[in-house]
Structure 1
């Protein structure tokens, strides 16, 4: 007999995952810090089951590490991770942009046009830049219409975002990085798949160079 998850439990687990993930990605939970299941249940105002499910998922995504008899901890951040992540992420970002350029639906096109206009007039400041960069990447993942590719890229992008937040006070403004989104979005919108792929790869690689030089 098939056993179906209870929808409210699924929803709570997803909520717990997103809230804990955001705490980790924005380093409000510092790298290496211990995690308390009891404290998280109180902070989120929900039961242990959704929090446990969220922790399992975050462990699989390398944002949390669990040591037997020691407990749960936010994963440490090492600068070498940036280069390793970029080596894997860059070609996948290129594939997402390539397929987005070939598969745009009307809703995708409207969303990307709005983001392209916004990228041309992005407000200065780290918070605005990170927010826009996140929305552009995720819109391209969605427009590629490949849920397996999107899920993989989302995981890697969260790890990159965490490094970005971690080094924020030591990084210069990345306005040039945001400016690169304009030709990338133009290529996707024009259906120039090969150009979109090349621009997406260069966008990811240039960010790695910029952050590595600063840190």
Structure 2
């Protein structure tokens, strides 16, 4: 059984105003999983998770079932709840699926993007750069998630948004292990800029190519170990 450490308990969380307790528990638990506060393969004690995340049993149980459906947790009969393990084979399969869906996202977003959308994406990317300078891994991951969520919102397809949300959460667990590598975050920031620049001129082909480069860069970072 494992609990999150003191530093992880101070992790940033997105704005929870107006959210139900179930949604708050889901978001807090998901963030702890994607930032590897709970390690792959760990068995979790529900009471400890309740304490870590300052949530009650019912919201945590609801979150467990939701996160198991998304592949982040595994409910093992007679043993309990386990954080889903990571494997390079899983990562490579995930990348194949992300490539198809992220390219589709760019094709849908390009004709729909507004100047306000571009401003918001640029603002998030500037915050990522600042978090990188401060070496705040959790904040970088939270902001990166916001960046990709915003892209999916611009695409305007709710089903695709849900698919990308699951894929990105799974990808972030792999990504977390490479964030300490020298120069990696600068690559990510520049790749985000390329996506924004292509969207700003509504160039669907360039946006799709920039998204593909971004995901393949993620693959290369994983394979470098």
- TM-score normalised by structure 1 residue count: 0.84
The equivalent position to 1:180 in structure 2, one of 178, 185, 191, is 191
8 Å CA contact 1:34, 1:74 repeated in 2: yes
Give RMSD over aligned pairs: 2.3
- Offset at residue 117 of structure 1 (A): 5.8
- Offset at residue 129 of structure 1 (A): 5.1
Q: Which runs of 5+ in 1 are unaligned?
A: 1-9
The equivalent position to 1:146 in structure 2, one of 119, 141, 157, is 157
* Aligned counterpart, 2:106: 97
Q: SS where residue 103 of structure 1 aligns?
A: coil
Change (3 A) 1:122 1:186: farther
CA distance in 1, matches of 2:155, 2:96: 20
8 Å CA contact 1:31, 1:75 repeated in 2: yes
Q: SS where residue 81 of structure 2 aligns?
A: strand
CA distance in 1, matches of 2:35, 2:64: 17
The structure with the largest alpha-carbon Rg is 1
Q: Which runs of 5+ in 2 are unaligned?
A: 1-18
- Offset at residue 208 of structure 1 (A): 0.5
CA distance in 2, matches of 1:199, 1:16: 34
Q: SS where residue 74 of structure 2 aligns?
A: strand
In the alignment, is residue 207 of structure 1 matched against residue 224 of structure 2? Answer: no
CA distance in 2, matches of 1:130, 1:50: 24
Q: Which has the higher helix share?
A: 1
What pairs up with 1:1-215 in 2 under 5 angstroms? 11-115=20-124, 123-124=132-133, 125=135, 127=137, 130-169=141-180, 171-174=181-184, 175-213=186-224, 215=225
CA distance in 1, matches of 2:142, 2:28: 16
Higher RCO (C-alpha under 8 Å, 6+ residues apart): 1
8 Å CA contact 1:16, 1:44 repeated in 2: yes
CA distance in 1, matches of 2:136, 2:37: 16
8 Å CA contact 1:101, 1:196 repeated in 2: yes
| Most deviating of 134-143 and 102-111 | 102-111
